[in-house]
């Protein structure tokens, strides 16, 4: 298995936030670059990752009064198991010669190291994850739904007045792969397309040094840059055939579902440690599409955005074309954890 080097580039997430328009919601992230509205939906997420994003989370129920064998045997029956506990057991290979349990640990490790790569190591793992893997029903569980929701919720999360940083949750690397695809170029100073597999997350490799926010806004997200032909991501005929893609506009958030832990804002605030993904400065207000209302302005910027882009969904659907048939070779990829931080702007 050949794993591509695809590290987190947190400043790309910051650029997306600077270009976000108010038409965005919990169902879709919309950004505007060089006059083009780019749409990131759960369908886009499924197209890039290949994760199951179709199904009803509530349909997966287990008898929690019965002990879970994996938890009892390898975690001493503890009710609270954190991601760090799982990683330690995995690295210690606690299953010894039990090949079946080795596979189950590998599945849990993949879920929490890659699918939920943006989460804190101290986050508690829901009991249902162990039940799904132990029963084998994990193959049908819509893992992508929760990863997508957490990603969009964290992007739109408003910090508390005493919070200095916050974390991009879910599977943050998908957002930067989406930007690569929307740029329509196989080679940039920070990423290179090296294959054309159906799972688009397998096709990209990060190159060079970590891109800086000012450089990205000047050279890549600049409205005056005519070299980049921004376009929305659409599936090929082969991708539509092979992947189980959710329909556009029909995603319903799973808020209130008891099977996943509730996560408040305090779990998103970091300890203040620095990294390459730190937001050294908040996104400049002048860069944002949704700026403050100017004195004497009769129409608010928010309304103006909606007026100009009111038919953007129809326009994108009318101009959407099917790409040529893609190569259907599929391979697995490991994705490193991505964390980004942002200064409090309050």
Q: What is the pLDDT of residues 80-138, one digit of tens each?
A: 999 999 999 999 999 999 999 999 999 999 999 999 987 888 899 999 999 999 999 99
Return mean pLDDT, the chain: 76
Which residue from 17, 9, 1, 2 is spatially nearest to 282, judged by alpha carbons?
Answer: 17
Residue 299 and residue 297: Cα distance in Å, rounded? 6
Closest among 125, 134, 141, 165 to 265, alpha carbons compared: 165
Q: What is the pTM of this model?
A: 0.71
Query: Could you tell me the residue ranges of all domains in the chain?
Result: 10-60+141-342
Q: Cα separation of 79 and 99, whole Å?
A: 25
**Residue 222: burial class (beta carbons within 10 Å; 0-12, 13-18, 19+):** middle
The continuous run of DSSP H or E covering 205 comes out as strand 204-206
Residues 202 and 331: their CA atoms lie apart, in Å, by 7
Tokens of 137: 């029903």
pLDDT digits (tens, 9 = 90+) for 6-24: 788 889 998 998 899 989 9
Q: Determine the pLDDT at residue 258.
A: 33
| DSSP summary character for residue 82 | B
pLDDT digits (tens, 9 = 90+) for 289-299: 444 444 444 33
Instruction: State the virtual CA torsion across 303, 163, 264, 39 in degrees, nearest 10.
Output: 40
Give the helix/strand (H/E) hosting 39.
Answer: strand 36-41
Instruction: Please tell me what DSSP assigns to residue 198.
Output: S
């Amino acid at each position: 298995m050949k794993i591509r080097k695809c590290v987190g580039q947190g400043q790309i997430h910051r650029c997306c936030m600077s270009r976000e328009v108010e038409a965005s919601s919990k169902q879709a992230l919309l950004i505007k670059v060089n006059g083009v509205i780019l749409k990131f939906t759960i369908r886009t997420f499924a197209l890039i990752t290949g994760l199951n994003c179709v199904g009803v989370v509530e349909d997966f129920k287990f008898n929690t009064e019965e002990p879970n064998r994996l938890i009892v045997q390898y975690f001493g029956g503890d009710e609270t198991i954190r991601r760090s506990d799982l990683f330690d057991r995995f690295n210690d290979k606690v299953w010894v010669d039990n090949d079946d349990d080795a596979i189950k640990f590998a599945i849990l490790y993949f879920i929490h190291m890659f699918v939920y790569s943006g989460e804190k190591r101290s986050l508690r793992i829901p009991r249902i994850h162990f039940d799904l893997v132990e029963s084998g029903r994990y193959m049908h569980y819509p893992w992508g739904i929760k990863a997508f929701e957490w990603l969009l919720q964290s992007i739109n999360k408003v910090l508390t007045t005493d919070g200095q940083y916050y974390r991009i949750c879910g599977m943050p690397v998908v957002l930067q792969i989406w930007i690569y695809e929307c740029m329509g170029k196989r080679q940039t100073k920070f990423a290179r397309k090296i294959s054309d597999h159906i799972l688009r997350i397998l096709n990209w490799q990060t190159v060079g040094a970590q891109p800086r926010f000012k450089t990205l806004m000047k050279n890549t997200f600049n409205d005056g840059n005519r070299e980049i032909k921004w376009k929305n991501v659409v599936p090929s005929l082969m991708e539509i055939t092979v992947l189980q893609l959710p329909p556009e506009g029909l995603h319903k958030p799973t808020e209130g579902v008891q099977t996943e832990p509730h996560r408040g804002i305090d779990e998103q605030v970091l300890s203040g440690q620095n990294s390459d993904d730190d937001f050294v400065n908040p996104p400049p207000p002048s860069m944002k599409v949704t700026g403050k209302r100017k004195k004497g302005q009769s129409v608010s910027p928010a309304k103006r955005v909606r007026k100009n882009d009111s038919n953007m969904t129809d326009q994108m659907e009318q101009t959407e074309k099917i790409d040529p048939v893609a190569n259907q070779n599929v391979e697995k990829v490991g994705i490193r954890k991505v964390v980004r931080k942002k200064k409090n702007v309050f």
